[in-house]
Amino acid sequence: MRKVKWVAAAAGVVLLVAGCGSEGGADQGKGGGEAPASGAATPAEQGAGTLDAAAVKKEIAGAATGAGFTEKSGDDVPASLQACMVSWGPDGKKVTDSKQSFDGTVAALVKGGWKETRTSDQPMSVIKSLDKSGWTLKASHQGKAGSLLVISFIAVDNGPTCAKAFQEDLAKNKQ
């Protein structure tokens, strides 16, 4: 069951990048950067991607560790997808103000070269998409302390190899 959640979250990021993940609402493009239209090549598909999963982990670690976030285990992620995605979440013992930690981590990522391309800001939900070198990072802060609170940073490689791996895994899980 956890495996399906990982794949679904990663596939959601892939679909969002492909322009299929938005249902209107409060999405606002920032910096003129909307997700590419269906069929448009992403930077990784154009050969511009220079980051691998290890480099993305290092960048997120630099931005997130001090704010109390930690890398999430990929034990439930299929081996074929582990090089295609990176996931971070809160360490309950270290995050005291989740919203401040979330905002600080996003700001540090932007300062490190991640470009904020889409934001959905609702009363109890903030979802931001950031792109860098063929990767899309979906940063999500939903809920509030004391009740259901979900915070995640999930980065997905948008290149054709990983897109194919995600599609194959989804097809396998539908059976």
Compute the mean pLDDT over every residue in the chain, rounded to the nearest whole number. Answer: 76
Q: What is the pLDDT, as a whole number, of residue 45?
A: 39
Q: What is the pLDDT, as a whole number, of residue 49?
A: 61
Q: What is the pLDDT, as a whole number, of residue 157?
A: 95
26 or 76, higher pLDDT? 76
Q: What is the pLDDT of residues 29-72, one digit of tens each?
A: 333 333 333 333 333 333 346 788 899 999 999 999 888 899 98
Alpha carbon distances (Å) from 169 to 10, 50, 166: 11, 24, 5
The ranges assigned to domains in the chain are 2-34+48-174
Kindly report the three-state secondary structure assignment for every residue of the chain: CHHHHHHHHHHHHHHHHCCCCCCCCCCEEECCECCCCCCCCCCCCCCCCCCCHHHHHHHHHHHHHHHCEEECCCCCCCHHHCCCEEEEEECCCCCCCHHHHHHHHHHHHHHCCCEEEEEEEECCEEEEEEEECCEEEEEEEEECCCCCEEEEEEEEECCHHHHHHHHHHHHHHHC
As a whole number of angstroms, the distance between CA 1 and CA 44 comes to: 30
Tell me the pLDDT band of 167, cut-offs 50, 70 and 90.
Answer: very high
Q: What average pLDDT does range 87-102 have in this prediction?
A: 86
Q: What is the pLDDT of residues 106-156, one digit of tens each?
A: 999 999 999 999 999 998 999 999 999 999 999 999 988 777 889 999 999
